[in-house]
């Protein structure tokens, strides 16, 4: 995986992140979703590097082999604001003051928060299979609760989900090496068998139902918008269109007229299932919304 990339550990903002980075040129930050690690990008990152980009792929705090800071009653250490601050510190530590961000699934919420909290740092935002957390919960109905019940299972604390998942991680997170690729699967498999990682991933969802929604709702009430161009991509074999109808319309209040997007023929894990199509869509977006490098 990631031929020519460097794998190392670097400081975030209160967490230590395992990160793989390589290539040269305008920088892009790729943020994975649940329950993946940075290895989910192993088919996309080399394509972007070959096309002339510096590509940075971390494990988010709590995920994979990144550190797992202690939590608190409000789950703030696993808020998207805290994860976004990690990413900003990581990129600055690598010498990148301004960069494009791509986020999938839970990583999409981190990417969105990064663009909202640190607009001077983010030149372009690409979101894969997601709407803002506050929007998802504000629009929550019986269909959403039935389809995305795991949000509420993983996010509750009365009977922690960790006990169920740790009893048989392979049954809970059912996937195959054929689907992901053998090396990426091994990385994922090692992560889901670590109880500390499972706990941290649940903390991510607990933050999502509380403090993350508070942050999104405060931004919405204040009329804050994402300052950079925004691209939204969604998988045709996932349920974004079924849940939200016009996916771009959900994003309009957050991005205004600097918004574009389209479906991609794929299942939920677009980076693993449709890497050529995804890389082409990202590069096309960056050509019309230039990704600029500004080094400190």
Residue 263: Cβ within 10 Å count:
15
Q: Alpha-carbon torsion 210, 214, 31, 234, what sign?
A: positive
> If you search the block for the tokens 């699934």, which residue do you land on?
105
94: left (phi over 0), alpha (psi -120 to 50) or beta: alpha
Q: How far apart are the first and last CA of the chain?
A: 30
Gyration radius of the chain's alpha carbons: 18
223: CB partners within 8 A, 6+ apart: none
212 is catalytic: no
Which of 59, 105, 219, 238 is an active site residue? 105
Bridge partners (DSSP) of residue 22 are 55
268 is catalytic: yes
Which of 34, 118, 189, 268 is an active site residue? 268
Task: Name the token pair of 16.
Answer: 């230590």
- Positions annotated as catalytic residues are 105, 268
């Amino acid at each position: 995986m990631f031929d020519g990339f460097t794998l190392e550990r670097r400081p975030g903002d209160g967490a230590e992140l395992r990160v793989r980075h390589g290539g040269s040129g305008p920088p892009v930050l790729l943020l994975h979703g649940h329950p993946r690690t940075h290895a989910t990008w192993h088919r996309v990152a080399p394509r972007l590097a070959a096309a002339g980009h510096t590509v940075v792929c971390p494990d988010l705090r709590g995920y994979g082999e990144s550190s797992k800071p202690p939590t608190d009653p409000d789950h703030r250490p696993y808020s998207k604001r805290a994860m976004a601050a990690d990413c900003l510190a990581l990129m600055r530590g690598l010498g990148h003051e301004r960069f494009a961000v791509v986020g999938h699934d839970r990583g999409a919420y981190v990417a969105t928060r990064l663009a909202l909290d640190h607009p001077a740092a983010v030149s372009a935002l690409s979101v894969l299979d997601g709407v803002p957390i506050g929007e998802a919960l504000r629009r929550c109905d019986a269909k959403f609760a039935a389809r995305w019940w795991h949000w509420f299972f993983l996010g509750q604390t009365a009977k922690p989900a960790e006990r169920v998942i740790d009893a048989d991680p392979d049954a809970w997170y059912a996937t195959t090496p054929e689907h992901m690729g053998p090396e990426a699967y091994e990385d994922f498999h090692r992560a889901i068998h670590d109880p500390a990682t499972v706990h941290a991933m649940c903390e991510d969802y607990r933050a999502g139902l509380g403090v993350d929604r508070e942050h999104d709702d405060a931004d919405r009430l204040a009329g804050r918008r994402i300052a950079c161009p925004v691209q939204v991509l969604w998988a045709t074999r996932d349920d974004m269109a079924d849940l939200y109808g016009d996916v771009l319309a959900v994003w309009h209040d957050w991005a205004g007229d600097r918004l574009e997007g389209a479906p991609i023929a794929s299942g939920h894990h677009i980076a693993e299932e449709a890497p050529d199509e995804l890389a082409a869509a990202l590069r096309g977006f960056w050509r019309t919304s230039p990704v600029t490098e500004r080094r400190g």
